[in-house]
Amino acid sequence: MCEPGQSEGGCRCHTGRMRGLVQPRLLLQLARKPAHGYELMDALDEGANGQAPDPGTLYRTLRGLEEDGLVRSTWDTEGAGPARRVYELTDQGIEFLHAWAVSIRGTRAQLDRFLAGYAEQFQNQTGG
């Protein structure tokens, strides 16, 4: 039996995994304000309970979002240090984020039904 937070290499369940939410989390962060990759990594790391994406996943996801027209990037050459790519959400990206929210609400409703059924089944057998 796996434990919450166990590395995914040793666990086949999806306990604690948030990989499938990288895309909508990035889109939501970019809806708040344009940002470069490092800022996005920090933002996704906050509150991720140890499930933040690795930098490779983050940049592959950003590249895919840009190829799909959901985000666009520009080079920020001002300030000290090397130029940085700054990402911003497009109008198409906003619509896609809305679609993600609808999908997540549906998934949440399914999860709520599962948890209610689980609680009903086991409320007297376990502590939770």
Give CA–CA dist 11/26, Å, rounded.
Answer: 26
Number of domains composing the chain: 1
Q: Is residue 50 part of a domain?
A: yes
Q: Is residue 1 part of a domain?
A: no
Q: Is residue 89 part of a domain?
A: yes
Q: Is residue 107 part of a domain?
A: yes
Give CA–CA dist 77/87, Å, rounded.
Answer: 14
Look up the CATH number of the domain holding residue 93.
1.10.10.10
- In terms of residue numbers, what domain contains 27? 16-122
Confirm whether pTM is higher than 0.85: no
Burial of 38: CB neighbours in 10 Å, binned 0-12, 13-18, 19+:
exposed
Q: Spell out the per-residue pLDDT of the chain, length 128, in tens.
A: 344 444 445 444 444 445 578 999 999 999 999 999 999 999 998 866 777 889 999 999 999 999 999 999 999 998 888 999 999 999 999 999 999 999 999 999 999 999 999 999 998 775 55
Q: Is residue 3 part of a domain?
A: no
